[in-house]
Chains A and B, each alone.
Chain A
Amino acid sequence: MRVGLVLTGLVLLVVVIGPFLAPHAHSDIIGAPFSPPSATALLGTDYLGEDVLSRVLAGGRSIVWISFVGTLVGVAVGAAIGMTAAYSGGVVDELLMRTMDVLRAFPPLVLILLLVSVARAESALMPLIVAIAWVPQVARVAYGAAKEVVGREFVESAEALGTPRMRIVRREILPNVMTPLMVDFGLRLTWSIGIVSAMSFLGVGLQPPAADWGLMIKENYQGLALQPWGVVVPVLCVAVFTFGTNLMTEGFARTVARVSPLEVTT
């Protein structure tokens, strides 16, 4: 967990202060395309002749905010749907959860590509698209956790006291499903980082001239044999980042939640 915190902190540090340390503007052409590392470009240049180092330093911001906001919204909406369905039961339960089943019929990335094909990914829409992909999955996790709680005495006594239903969901059910939801959030944050960078890698995420790790991998992939740094460094950045968030989640799951993350999602 400590290693995870350090790695994640390191990546976030690069993301936050990186742009101020960058020797060049991220879309300035400073040399020939795919030139090897030199004094002016420590990691060489990319497919257009832009500085790889400066683009790496500037290229994490989009991934961090899109995956964080997307996961947060997805988990919040999914949890609300799952808890409401579990507590309401009957028709509402069936309607909500069967709708979620239909959305879960698509692998998340396929659902994302379907949405992107219509809503042309603008970076402002990307968190929303990521969130929609997670909603049905989170709803199922929250539903399962909430179902175990809804029949308990403290819920019944709150009902007997005439507590409004929304308040019961918020005050009685939510605290009891919070721990699995937090583990789920951590897992999905890691996956979101992968998905957001994959979207840009597939050409349906951020578009040039934006500096973004996923996009950099796509742009410089053709020149991998010529000038590997334009691909290797962004790949390592994404890897270290997901590694860090995953270790943090594992640590949290083991020490605080006392569950294996496998149990939450499968």
Chain B
Amino acid sequence: MTLDRRPSSATGRLWLLRRVVFGMAVVLLGSVLVFAATQVLPGDPARAVLGHEATPERVAALRTELGLDRPLVAQYLAWLGGVLTGEPGHSLVTREPVGGLIGDRAVNSAVLVLVSAAVVVPLSVFVGAVAGRRRDRPFDRAVLVVTLGLTALPEFIIALLLVILLSTSVFPLLPGTVLLAPGQNPFGEPAQLVLPVTALVLGVLPYLARLVRGSVIDVYESEYVRTARLKGVPENVVLRRHVLRNALVPAVQGTALALAYLTGGVVVVEQVFNYPGLGSALVDAVNNRDFPVIQLICLVFAACYVAFNLLGDAMTVYVTPRLRTAGR
């Protein structure tokens, strides 16, 4: 690998194309997994829905209705075709089309994730950069202690502590549960969003802030910063031109990772606040063994997760050109 020669943009585009194709293949195989999980593992969906007391005829009838008597490959292709054409079947519990059932909730979850990301990314960059610049000073130490404490706590414990502290007995300031009618705009009641977003932000902040802090420190110790200082470049120019520009590389990558992490984090946080999103829909569906809903939501989560991770890789490569030629 030659480090000094910038690769042509064609190489970069080819690389990106390969990653996108690979990501799509992963999601496709993920869909096989989602489908197979409901087939291969013990337990008959029809019996699970109807319960143990159901008569064999009733079970057989539901199996036919759900298409469970067809060969597995045919079932899978029918399901996948349905997902791609926007008709992924009906809920076993409410009998509604799955797509309509989760549409609103997907929007609600997306709002939660994007608002949290919009808060946490600038905040982490600021906190991390200041801590890194004032390394080992009181602010830095405080940041390290707080982030160390926060990394230890699972998101739902953070969320519950927020509810206990801010919406019940101690300081009753903010609503602890979200009351949204289906289809209602989550921005309609901004106060309701504060605690769920805070919980998610506190879950991601420690990782991202420490990532930025580490890279700011690395840049300050680098030779080009020393050279710039020896040349007599003013300190604030060093900060702006050299440090921030280079230290933002992990922040860019971290943003995509944060989105991926938030995607997983919403599941529990939504449940704590009774927020009507995809995560709480998934939990309800799992408790009801509503397989069409479970399958689709898991697939949506996988697609977002893969897309955000891919975005992270692509951004990293975009900001560090020499990586474009390296490996896979």
Contacts and interface: CB of A to CB of B under 8 A. Distances in A.
B277 to A, nearest CB: 13
A230 to B, nearest CB: 12
Interface in A21-64: none
A78 B263 CA distance: 24
Contacts of A183: none
Contacts of A191: 154
Contacts of B176: 224
Interface stretch (A11-19, A107-115, A161-169, A171-179): A107-115
A203 to B, nearest CB: 5
A236 B257 CA distance: 29
A80 B291 CA distance: 33
Centre residue among A107, A204, A243 by max chain B CB count within 10 A: A107
A101 B302 CA distance: 11
Interface in B242-281: 257, 260, 263-264, 267-268, 271
B267 A107 contact: yes
Contact of B37 (A114, A195, A239, A246): A114
Given A117-B291, A246-B152, A101 B163 contact: no
Interface stretch (B38-46, B54-62, B78-86): B38-46
A114 B154 contact: no
A105 B157 contact: no
Contact of B154 (A118, A197, A224): A197
A190 interface: yes
A116 B41 CA distance: 10
Interface in A208-266: 217, 224-225, 228, 231-232, 235, 238-239, 242-243, 245-247, 250, 260, 262, 266
A117 B264 contact: no
B204 to A, nearest CB: 13
B68 interface: no
A51 B195 CA distance: 30
Contact of A202 (B38, B271, B289, B306): B271
Contact of A113 (B42, B161, B214, B282): B282
Interface stretch (B4-12, B22-30, B130-138, B224-232): B22-30
B37 A118 contact: yes
Contacts of A250: 148
Contacts of A126: none
A120 interface: yes
B157 A242 contact: yes
Interface residues of A, number: 46
A198 B154 CA distance: 8
Contacts of B289: 117
Centre residue among B33, B157, B161, B285 by max chain A CB count within 10 A: B157
Contacts of B151: 246
Centre residue among B155, B207, B210, B286 by max chain A CB count within 10 A: B286
Interface residues of B, number: 51
Nearest to A250: B148
Contact of B294 (A101, A114, A198): A114
A63 B120 CA distance: 31
Contacts of A190: 152
B37 A115 contact: yes
B298 A194 contact: no
A262 B253 CA distance: 14
A65 interface: no
A10 interface: no
B41 A118 contact: yes
Given A118-B43, A119-B43, A113 B157 contact: no
B160 A217 contact: yes
A103 interface: yes
B26 A102 contact: yes
B310 to A, nearest CB: 11
B236 interface: no
Nearest to B285: A117
A55 B287 CA distance: 24
A191 B153 CA distance: 9
A198 B268 CA distance: 7
Interface in B167-189: 168-169, 176
B157 A238 contact: yes
B305 A105 contact: yes
A134 to B, nearest CB: 14
B286 A117 contact: yes
A145 to B, nearest CB: 16
Nearest to A224: B168
B57 to A, nearest CB: 24
A194 B156 contact: yes
Contact of A108 (B38, B152, B264, B285): B264
B266 to A, nearest CB: 9
5 contacts: A118-B38, A224-B164, A228-B164, A243-B152, A266-B211
The 5 closest A-B pairs by CB, nearest first: A194-B154, A107-B264, A246-B152, A118-B41, A105-B30
Given A202-B286, A228-B164, 19 more contacts: A101-B26, A105-B29, A106-B301, A110-B282, A113-B294, A116-B286, A117-B38, A118-B38, A120-B43, A190-B152, A193-B154, A194-B157, A197-B156, A224-B163, A225-B169, A231-B164, A242-B152, A262-B211, A266-B257
